[in-house]
Structure 1
Amino acid sequence: MVRSFALCLLLAMLPLTVSADEANIQGFDNLAEEQRYRELISELRCPKCQNQNIADSNAPISKDMRDAVYLMMQDGASDDAIVSSLVDRFGEFVRYNPEVDRRTFLLWATPAIAVGIGLLVVGGIVIRSRRRGEQGASLTAEEQARVSKLLAGEDRNNRS
């Protein structure tokens, strides 16, 4: 009897469990607007959570940002206008992919610079090793005689 009551209670509460993704979706007239909303909230970063988009974040600031996106969409704002508005309010940090400009050029150029420096270092090492190989390991006559003795096993006790 207790088990069946617990089962009925769990089944009654099942519709109350809503995923965070479903809770983020506002009322839209068509599927295209809903998809546009999902894309916008997934490409904007939560200022509080640091590495979570506003679609996945449960922070109050993320809810405010989702509401702002929804209201701007209802007012007919373009995607660029919505993102620009949120960037003006919260800073460039809210973008996962910041635009390339004077301030972010180094951010975008760093990988290419690092690869270029790595190639220069590897090239320098290869060139230096080839030059050493071309010069050869030429030994003096005395060193050559000592090597011959060592290889023959004669110079074990006569080390200088």
Structure 2
Amino acid sequence: MLAMECIDRVHEHGGKVISFESFCGGIPAPECSDNPLRYKFSWSPKAVLQALLNPAKFMKDGKVIELPAGGGVLDSEFQIDFMPGFNLVGFANRDSTLYADVYGIAGDCKTVLRGTLRYKGFSSAVKAMKKVGLLSAEKSPLFNSAIGPDLTWVR
């Protein structure tokens, strides 16, 4: 794992990790990000979208930040500036605070954040989907047995 290699190398040279931020994500080439999400599903579409409804927790400048379930991560995107031409944003993934101990950086590290990369505009599109009920696990009256199969988002 690249993160552990980097952290171990810092420790081997007597250094301390005071901030750890790691973002990853399967994003399409810019010329292929040609839909409202600016994303191509490389795994389960349901899982990708439902993950955005999970709560998230991370540490920033020594303070624990908790984002609520139901889309809190969508309201707290991070501007990713290391490749400005790509216009990327990041979203916190679940509980990043657990990784301070896993990575052996708990004592000195004041920022611990693991997240997912997407193109700017992704959260606006997903928020619109959520607003009209497309991410709801509840049965929709639009899909009833009188006019078609009884379906839910969960299926």
TM-score, normalised relative to structure 1: 0.23
The structure richer in strand per residue is 2
TM-score, normalised relative to structure 2: 0.24
Larger Rg belongs to = 1
